Amino acid sequence: MVTIKSKKEIELMKEACKVVAILYEELEKIIKPGMTTWQIDEIAEQIIRQNGAIPAEKGYNVGIKGIPDYPAATCISVNDEVIHGIPSKKKIIKEGDIVSIDTVALKNGFHGDAARTFTVGKISKEAQNLIDITKQAFFEGIKYAIPGNRIGDISHAIGEFVHKNGYSVVREFQGHGIGRQMHEDPGIPNYGKAGRGIRLEPGMTLAIEPMVIQGKPNILELEDGWTIITEDGSLSAHYENTILITKNQPEILTIL
């Protein structure tokens, strides 16, 4: 069921989203070659907690037998890792890498969710273009995030923009509603037909998240039960924000 948030609930949720926005501004300053993804995660958790929130991904359980609770405060995916990369003391980032970080903060009983792909030192033009297209795909999608439009209008805009630029969208994972629960209805694919899906109404809060692959869209899941990689080893980027549907244009809650 899709939840419509009250004015008070929206104000509380904005505080959770602000924590995530602060986190990414801080991480952008500190990510550098030689760091482990474990170190980045430790810093991220510290920032989240210092701002009065809880890292909601830590201990998250998908409810599938055999898949362990998620062990970290963030998902950190490097290069060909698409999403859900588990931070590790053994994984050292190096010059030229691209690092996607997905984080959810819980504060006041509400969640804020966003993802960014960061550059490590100097990267290739091809990698930078992938990051730029992934970010712009989000903004192309939310042009349609207005009352009366449908979820499919957002999905279609994202998918068409990505494909027009020669990239692939991940089809097995999608954006989602968000609020008191990390994942709420509706699901928001990054492809689809315009005019399909539920109608958008003021008070809806949505996590829109293009996940874009440089090569073919095929993905694989690693044995850890979490990490998703590209099948052909090509790079992947991720960009996400929590937005609020208003009476007019959408409001992005996870950008300061």
The rounded mean pLDDT for the chain is 97
Close Cβ partners of 110 (under 8 Å, ≥ 6 residues apart): 9, 12, 13, 15, 16, 179, 180
Looking at residue 53, its pLDDT comes to 98
Closest alpha carbon to 82 in 209, 206, 176, 201: 209
In angstroms, rounded to a whole number, what is the distance separating the alpha carbons of residues 49 and 34?
25
Query: Cis before residue 71, ω within 30 degrees of 0?
Result: no
Q: Assess whether pLDDT exceeds 90 at residue 62.
A: no
The total of other beta-carbon atoms located within 10 Å of residue 50's CB is 12
Closest alpha carbon to 125 in 187, 202, 214: 214
The total of other beta-carbon atoms located within 10 Å of residue 224's CB is 13
Q: Where are the domains of the chain?
A: 7-252
Q: Assess whether pLDDT exceeds 90 at residue 63.
A: no
Residue tagged 């008191």 (tokens): 180
- The average pLDDT across 66-95 equals 97
- The average pLDDT across 1-21 equals 97
Close Cβ partners of 243 (under 8 Å, ≥ 6 residues apart): 142, 145, 205, 206, 207, 208, 250, 251, 252, 253
Q: Assess whether pLDDT exceeds 90 at residue 48.
A: yes
Asked whether the beta carbons of 220 and 232 are under 8 A apart, the reply is no
Q: Assess whether pLDDT exceeds 90 at residue 233.
A: yes
Q: Assess whether pLDDT exceeds 90 at residue 4.
A: yes
Q: Is the pTM of this model over 0.85?
A: yes
pLDDT in tens, 150-200: 999 999 999 999 999 999 999 999 999 999 999 999 999 999 999 999 999
In angstroms, rounded to a whole number, what is the distance separating the alpha carbons of residues 23 and 77?
17
> Candidates 3.30.390.10, 3.90.230.10, 2.60.40.10, 2.40.40.20; correct CATH number of 7-252?
3.90.230.10
Structure tokens at 173: 């994972």
Question: Residue 96, by phi and psi: left (phi above 0), alpha (psi -120 to 50) or beta?
Answer: left
Structure tokens at 185: 């209805």
Q: Assess whether pLDDT exceeds 90 at residue 253.
A: yes
Looking at residue 65, its pLDDT comes to 87
